[in-house]
Structure 1
């Protein structure tokens, strides 16, 4: 997994702790934006091709100093190593770009899809709920170059709430939108292939749900971030046409430490997201 880091400071204003990436720079005011590159995607860690590694993403925001709870336009310009726009993208799981937005303490998560405007530009309107720092991860596939992930920090203005601690869950059974979801992992060790099996039941009746609907062309999607948001994995299922109650995924955690795992599934026309926090040993 490659990572290149570039920092850009656009104004000055407030610090806070609300994002899901590497330790964000605090003590600066305004919109703090630092970009980093990652190459983990699609179920296993896959290093970027040489062409993909040269692809750049420039994030911009309107207003430049986003306000909590108000609409913010996010624009992402994709270019090659010479600064020329990349204008052709493959569709990956029904979209040309997947944008993951997280708060620094990983308490907030959103998976949205910017619209392609041509000439390498994607944009989307987001509403970040509270003040603090957020990290955005853009997943896309320039045609013929393999999958690419680029990321960006942004600081949202306002009085930031106290960050929530990120602690491994004592139970890997959660309830979300009337579903009881259990995550089975086995032993999680850095650098070794790990299985993640989500078993989904009706929370009230405890009956297995066997009619999950495809979400973005698959039974589900999983996003994983280390507690500092430096390690990013977007994982696709082993059996995309499965319909429950089990949804199975395989991945490799690059380092030991604490990770947050978000599973996303669809049932009866509604997408639901269930988070878990796990610890990976060395």
Structure 2
């Protein structure tokens, strides 16, 4: 009788332990959401399937969304225009053809080089049938990462990316080093970045204070850029962690533009803030080390 009772209790313990080990998917780290235009009809001679940033699992339809990147030239060279096509599709090749407009665009395309010294934020034209197209050029030989940032109709924000190579003798890569002071002067503006704290996996506030570089007078006539006072793109130094951050007060006109975000891991990150005044967009880069 004692042996039967012991066996029954052991089975119950094993059953409870088994239930505690769920086989469910882990959630992808939250994306903090988010110019030139061109089009072309050249047939691509190379195609590549983009992968998702952060390596996280996504639930539902989103986890099956693919981006197929193709280029009009087999051998892209510096400063030569070429056509890039990005097809958003399911694993069986069927295209997704309904996209939400996010900050005035159906797709934001971010391009950086290997050491993050080059940055571009452009917007492909949507041709229908899941395909986006743009004509562009890149300034130097080396590796570049394309990050396609988009949102399926009624879905969540997604991004897919891939690396490609521009042929030629690439310049030596420079280390991505944290700035000693978070003050930069760009296009006659002095931009100061401040944060309430800096720590991985903790929501924080990024504030950009913008003033005239010569007079130090605050600038309060910023114009909307893509429907907001500004946009912020953040990448880890290896370009694997990607954040596209939108402002907390989109209708602000300066001198302050605030954003909320969370750095997913410790390490070095580069931050690009983009703003507009007098019809001209200016981009301000900062590098920080997150404990």
Asked if these proteins are the same fold (TM beyond 0.5), I'd say yes
Which protein shows a greater Rg?
2
TM norm structure 1: 0.84
Which one of 71, 91, 94 corresponds to residue 61 of structure 1?
A: 71
Unpaired segments of 5 or more residues in structure 2?
1-26, 30-45
Q: Which residue of 2 aligns with 1:209?
A: 219
Match runs of 1:254-273 below 5 Å: 254-273=264-283
Residue deviations 1:45-95, cap 9 Å, x none?
x98542222111000111122111110211001102332111111100000
Query: TM-score, length-normalised on structure 2?
Result: 0.82
Q: Provide the secondary structure at the position in 2 that maps to 1:66.
A: coil
Aligned partner of 1:95 among 87, 105, 119: 105
Counterpart of 1:38 in structure 2 is 53
Q: CA RMSD in A?
A: 1.9
Decide whether aligned partners of structure 1 residues 100 and 225 sit closer, same or farther in structure 2, where only a CA change above 3 A counts.
same
Cα deviation per residue 1:16-61 (whole Å; 9 max; x = unaligned)? xxxxxxxxxxxxxxx8967320379xxxxx9854222211100011
8 A Cα contact 2:208 2:256, kept in partner: yes
Normalized per residue, which structure has more strand?
1
Q: Distance in 2 between matches of 1:49 and 1:212?
A: 39
The reply on whether 1:241 has 2:256 as its aligned counterpart is no
Pick closer, same or farther for the CA change 1:276–1:231 going to 2, 3 Å.
Answer: same
Alpha-carbon distance in 1 for matches of 2:95, 2:248: 34
Checking the alignment, whether the CA contact within 8 Å between 1:49 and 1:145 is kept in structure 2 is no
Q: How big is the shift at 1:166? A: 0.6
Q: Distance in 1 between matches of 2:57 and 2:188?
A: 38
Equivalent of 2:155, from 145, 150, 164? 145
CA contact (8 A) 2:50 2:66 kept: no
Q: Which has the higher helix share?
A: 2
**Mapping 1:22-37, distance limit 5 Å:** 35-37=50-52
Contact 2:28 2:54 in 1 (8 A): yes
Within 5 A, what are the aligned runs for 1:1-282?
Answer: 2=28, 35-38=50-53, 48-281=58-291
Q: 2:50 and 2:68 mapped to 1: Cα distance?
A: 8
Q: Which of structures 1 and 2 has the larger relative contact order (alpha carbons within 8 angstroms, sep 6+)?
A: 1
Q: How many residues align?
A: 249
Secondary structure (helix, strand or coil) at the match of 1:136 reads: strand
